[in-house]
Amino acid sequence: MTISLTAEPTQLDIQASGGSYEVLLTNTGSERLTFKVKCNNNAFYTFKPVFGIIGVGQQKKVEVTRLYGGVSTDKMAIHYLPAPIGVYDPAEPFKQAKTFGAMPSIVDVNITAGENAIKSPDVANQNSYVPTMYDKPV
């Protein structure tokens, strides 16, 4: 029996200004798998779902959401282990693996938040003034 998981794409080029993207996971092995998504930069990224179970030959989409932030190069790592029949909590095999010292397999997705980001407006532009309804007429 083999365990194998692929991720598409393996390189995400995204805007540093933020947005949502998808990574498609495919179980190409002969065993049911459980996965866990990790990232080196959780300040800017969220993932849905973080844990999941994928049957043999099945696919699962993971939504990657990037918050507004600076230009960076980051890594999303999808850890995966066999998920025996009868296991319905995708986190359970990872807890057991930690107890017994088993190491999960890993698929990496490189994420580049590039300079094609939308520039933020100048917050304190001292050269312009926009009148409000509270201003007195001159």
Indicate whether 100 pLDDT > 50: yes
* pLDDT tens digits, one per residue of 11-55: 988 888 889 999 999 999 999 999 999 999 999 999 999 999 999
The per-residue pLDDT for 137 is 61
Q: Which of 16, 79, 23 is nearest to 47 (CA)?
A: 23
Domain ranges of the chain: 5-114
**51: which residues sit within 8 A by CB, 6+ positions away?**
34, 35, 36, 37, 90, 91, 94
H-assigned helices in the chain = 92-100
Dump pLDDT digits (tens) for 43-94. 999 999 999 999 999 999 999 999 998 888 999 999 999 998 898 999 999 8
Q: In what side-by-side order are the strands of the sheet with 45-48?
A: 5-8, 19-27, 59-66, 45-48
Q: Count CA atoms within 13 Å of residue 93 on its CB side.
A: 22
Which CATH number fits the domain 5-114, given the four candidates 2.60.40.10, 3.40.630.30, 3.50.50.60, 3.40.640.10?
A: 2.60.40.10
